């Protein structure tokens, strides 16, 4: 009984002193460790693919490096000293004048199932500029959103939808909206709740390997990946 009470006390302490701030390059290592600790096992596609450490390291490191080039990513820590990461959102900027490759995940020579997943992600946004409103010239690309298991159901994901936005940065980089390849039911429902609309969806059942096996059988009930989009004008009361 004492052990149970101790665990309850520890669990209740999580999230009481959260600090939200812009992620910087110096956060790279702690973000990588956080993604291995939580995102690697909590994200349904990662669970389904069972990718080896070496593949995850390339994927996570490459995404972190790209997204920390500009100040549109956020890190959430559970104390002022920032030792314990609670959550993060990693976002990059993609311009209409860029090529598709600028938004692609350029990971190659992966195991077949991992490569098929990467190919699906890239195919989701390959025709985005044909689907986007003509006035939109640049978007934020939400590449990874992750909340650590002890911090779930505390409203962190909702706050992270717009945490990285302010009017000065939006104007400087001409941001017209946000896109996201929503891979899980939880993320799809969250973005729908916050006004994102689905521009495209593709069935996981169609992602099969050379032996005809479906490689994305998700245990959370998700059947499709969705390309979601929200125009920047839909975000109200953004800070300066």
**Cα–Cα dist 142/92, whole Å:** 7
Q: Is the pTM of this model over 0.75?
A: yes
In a domain, 38, yes or no: yes
Is pLDDT of 5 > 80?
Answer: no
**Cα–Cα dist 74/89, whole Å:** 5
Mean pLDDT score, 141-158: 95
Is residue 9 very low, low, confident or very high in pLDDT (cuts 50, 70, 90)?
Answer: very low
In a domain, 77, yes or no: yes
Q: What Cα–Cα distance (Å) separates residue 46 from each residue in 100, 156, 211? A: 24, 21, 20
Return the pLDDT at 107: 82
Query: DSSP states of 66-108 as a string?
Result: HHTTSS--EEEESSTT--SEEEEEEEEEEETTS-GGGTS----
Mean pLDDT score, 25-37: 97
Return the pLDDT at 81: 61
Mean pLDDT score, 33-41: 96
In a domain, 95, yes or no: yes
Return the pLDDT at 82: 64
Is pLDDT of 48 > 60?
Answer: yes
- φ, ψ at 161 (rounded to 5°): -55, -40
Q: Give the chain's mean pLDDT.
A: 91
**Cα–Cα dist 178/91, whole Å:** 9
Is residue 229 very low, low, confident or very high in pLDDT (cuts 50, 70, 90)?
Answer: very high
In a domain, 2, yes or no: no
Mean pLDDT score, 202-229: 97
Mean pLDDT score, 33-56: 95
Q: CATH number of the domain at 48, please.
A: 3.40.630.30
In a domain, 83, yes or no: yes
In a domain, 6, yes or no: no
**Cα–Cα dist 15/78, whole Å:** 6
CA-wise closest residue to 191 among 235, 229, 147: 229
In a domain, 4, yes or no: no
Return the pLDDT at 80: 61
In a domain, 172, yes or no: yes
Domains: count for the chain: 1
Q: Where in the sequence is the domain holding 122, given as residue range(s)? A: 16-233
């Amino acid at each position: 009984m004492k052990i149970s009470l101790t665990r309850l006390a520890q669990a209740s302490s999580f999230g009481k002193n959260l600090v939200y701030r812009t992620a910087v390059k110096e956060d790279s290592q702690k973000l990588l460790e956080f993604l291995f600790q939580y995102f690697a096992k909590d994200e349904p596609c990662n669970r389904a693919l069972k990718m080896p450490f070496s593949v995850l390291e390339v994927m996570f490191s490459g995404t972190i490096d790209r997204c920390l080039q500009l100040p549109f990513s956020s890190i959430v820590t559970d104390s002022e000293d920032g030792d314990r990461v609670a959550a993060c959102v990693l976002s990059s900027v993609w311009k209409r004048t860029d090529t598709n490759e600028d938004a692609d995940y350029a990971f190659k020579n992966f195991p077949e199932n991992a490569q098929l997943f990467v190919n699906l992600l890239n195919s989701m946004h390959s025709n985005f500029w044909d689907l986007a409103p003509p006035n939109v010239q640049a978007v934020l690309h939400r590449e990874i959103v992750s909340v650590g298991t002890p911090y779930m159901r505390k409203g962190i994901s909702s706050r992270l939808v717009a945490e990285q936005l302010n009017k000065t940065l939006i104007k400087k980089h001409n941001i017209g909206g946000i896109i996201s390849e929503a891979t899980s039911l939880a993320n799809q429902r969250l973005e729908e709740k916050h006004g994102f609309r689905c521009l495209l969806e593709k069935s996981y059942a169609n992602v099969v390997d050379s032996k005809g096996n479906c490689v994305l059988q998700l245990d959370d009930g998700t059947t499709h990946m969705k390309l979601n989009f929200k125009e920047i004008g839909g975000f109200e009361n953004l800070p300066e």
